[in-house]
């Protein structure tokens, strides 16, 4: 039956008369708005946040304060020192995250660390996927020698040999 055309029988249906159900359309609109609002509210849930304040330069072998801001977290944090992809030291294995969105800890910078560019990482212990990174430059301490006022003379000073 080449070229045959098949026709489906028309199914009679009455069109919806909005006047027959006057509350139906406002009810449907209300339900759609509520569903959309709920979906937006679910997507708007707050994520955990952790951010380290600027650190500047830290001298090796000294104690420094590391501060951070946080939100929607609890528990403790771990503070580590990194150089590139290598962890150099754990500066604090576990310290309190802080209060009212602010936290800080005193950490000891390793005396054997070489001067250069590093990174401090603060990581939530209860949510290890939440961490913050901040660049820090470690600098060497130049320890000055005691002041020589000239009153200390060596045995060979001024004797000519």
The better pLDDT of the pair 31, 102 is held by 102
Nearest to 78 by CA among 66, 94, 98: 94
Tally of CB atoms within 10 A around 26: 9
What's the mean pLDDT when you consider all of the chain? 81
Q: What percent of the chain has pLDDT above 70?
A: 60
Q: Which tokens go with 99?
A: 């209060």
Domains in the chain and their CATH numbers?
A: 49-139 (2.60.40.1930)
Q: E strands along 13-155, which residues?
A: 49-52, 57-59, 63-71, 76-83, 86-96, 102-108, 116-124, 131-139
- Residue 78: predicted pLDDT: 98
Model confidence over 103-142: pLDDT tens digits? 999 999 999 999 999 999 999 999 999 999 999 999 998 7
pLDDT given at position 51: 97
SS3 78: strand
């Amino acid at each position: 039956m080449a070229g045959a055309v098949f026709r489906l029988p028309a199914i009679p249906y009455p069109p919806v008369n909005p006047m027959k159900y006057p509350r139906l359309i406002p009810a449907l609109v209300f339900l759609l708005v509520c569903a959309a609002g709920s979906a937006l509210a679910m997507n708007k849930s707050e994520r955990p946040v952790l951010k380290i304040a600027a650190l500047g330069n830290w001298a090796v072998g000294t104690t420094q304060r590391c501060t951070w801001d946080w939100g929607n977290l609890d528990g403790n944090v771990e503070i580590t020192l990194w150089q590139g992809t290598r962890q150099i030291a754990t500066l604090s294995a576990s310290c309190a995250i802080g209060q009212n969105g602010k936290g800080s800890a005193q950490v000891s910078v390793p005396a054997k660390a070489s001067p250069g560019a590093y990174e401090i990482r603060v990581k939530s212990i209860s949510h290890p996927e939440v961490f913050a990174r901040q660049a820090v430059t470690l600098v060497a301490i130049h320890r000055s020698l005691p002041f020589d006022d000239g009153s200390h003379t060596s045995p060979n000073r001024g004797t000519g040999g």
